[in-house]
Amino acid sequence: MTLEAPPAFSPAVHNVMIANKSTNTKPELLVRRFLRNSGFPGYRLHWRIDGEDGKYICRPDITFPGRKLAIFVHGCFWHRCPTCNLSLPKSNVDYWSQKFQKNVERDRRKEKTLVGLGWSVHTIWECEIEDGASSLLRILTI
């Protein structure tokens, strides 16, 4: 079953929704700046990872292929941060609950598949950029 987005209530809502980006978000840019300033350049952005059978798995936000380290920088709203516990939008509740559930399931599936292939997976939540980036620094120095 395909999940179809409901129409926007107004042109303003429409413009806000189409302005949402999936790459080069502010949290992602902050983490990348942190990595460069900490002496860890050489990462790949949205680097395609395929399984052993050659099938596409995902494109993490930041990847260190040589270290087999995949970093996801998740926005709290779209990926349903367990710490923030944000409420659902008040309109189109069925659509949004299904949308968020699919996002969370997809995130879990990607992580499980990558770990099964021997990758280290690190997720940095938008609300924890500073702490998450600091813990990432510990992982990179091992």
Residue range 10-67, pLDDT digits in tens: 666 556 556 666 778 888 998 998 888 888 888 999 999 999 999 999 999 999 999 9
Helix (H, G, I), strand (E, B) or coil at 45: strand
| 113 falls within a domain | yes
Q: Name the packing angle between helices 26-37 and 129-140 (round to 10°).
A: 40
Find the CATH number of the domain harbouring 125.
Answer: 3.40.960.10
| 94 falls within a domain | yes
| 10 falls within a domain | no
Which of 47, 51, 92, 99 has the alpha carbon at shortest distance from 78? Answer: 99
| 15 falls within a domain | no
E strand or H helix at 63, and its extent?
Answer: strand 62-64
How many folded domains does the chain comprise?
Answer: 1
pLDDT band at 133 (very low <50, low <70, confident <90, very high): low
CA dist 142 to 32, 47, 75, 136, 138, Å? 19, 22, 27, 10, 7
Range of the domain at 78: 22-140
Per DSSP, 82 falls in state T
Q: What is the pLDDT of residues 116-125, one digit of tens each?
A: 999 999 999 9
pLDDT given for residue 59 in this prediction: 96
| 112 falls within a domain | yes
Using the predicted structure, report yes or no on whether residue 6 has a pLDDT greater than 80. Answer: no
pLDDT given for residue 8 in this prediction: 54
- Are the CB atoms for 45 and 72 separated by under 8 Å? no
Q: What is the pLDDT of residues 70-108, one digit of tens each?
A: 999 999 998 999 999 899 888 888 988 999 999 999 999
| 2 falls within a domain | no
